[in-house]
């Protein structure tokens, strides 16, 4: 299972890739695998504010509905519109084409509370048992 080293993670299986003040958010390989075929992604509005730890969208597989929790707060700068027609990209490419939103970070200090790749891998391993 792929857990890229350059990302940070939440306990709820979102990842965040930080580049200066900007950050891109998606769900992990583990998450997409657990959810199964994703058929719908509900995206926030561009320009809206999301808050760390709060739901900002929804992913639905055939059988499940799951909230997306923001790894960090900020203003939504872009959303992955391609997921409207091709939600399955979250399954096939969770860390690249399946990205969900891009935000402008409100407070970089929030990133300190996130899981690093090793801790996140450990958590996934525990959940599988």
List residues near other proteins by CB under 8 A. Answer: 36-37, 39-40, 42, 58, 60-63, 65, 84, 88
**Nearer residue to other proteins within complex by CB, 23 or 101:** 101
Q: Is residue 21 within 8 Å of residue 113, measured between CB atoms?
A: no
User: From the CB of 55, what's the least distance to other proteins, in Å?
Assistant: 10
**Nearer residue to other proteins within complex by CB, 34 or 121:** 34
Beta bridge partners of 57: 68
User: From the CB of 56, what's the least distance to other proteins, in Å?
Assistant: 13
User: From the CB of 84, what's the least distance to other proteins, in Å?
Assistant: 6
**Nearer residue to other proteins within complex by CB, 51 or 60:** 60
User: From the CB of 32, what's the least distance to other proteins, in Å?
Assistant: 11
**Nearer residue to other proteins within complex by CB, 38 or 72:** 38
């Amino acid at each position: 299972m792929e857990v890229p080293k350059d990302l940070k993670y939440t306990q709820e299986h979102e990842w965040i890739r930080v580049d200066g003040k900007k950050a891109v958010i998606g769900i992990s390989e583990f998450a997409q695998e657990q959810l199964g075929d994703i058929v719908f992604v509900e995206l926030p509005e561009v320009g809206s504010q999301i808050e760390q730890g709060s739901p900002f969208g929804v992913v639905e597989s055939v059988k499940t509905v799951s909230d997306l929790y923001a790894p960090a707060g900020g203003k939504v700068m872009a959303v992955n519109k391609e997921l409207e027609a091709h939600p399955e990209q979250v399954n096939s490419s969770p860390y690249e084409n399946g990205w969900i939103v891009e935000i402008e970070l409100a407070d970089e200090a929030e990133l300190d509370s996130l899981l690093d790749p090793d801790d996140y891998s450990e958590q996934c391993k525990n959940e599988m048992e």
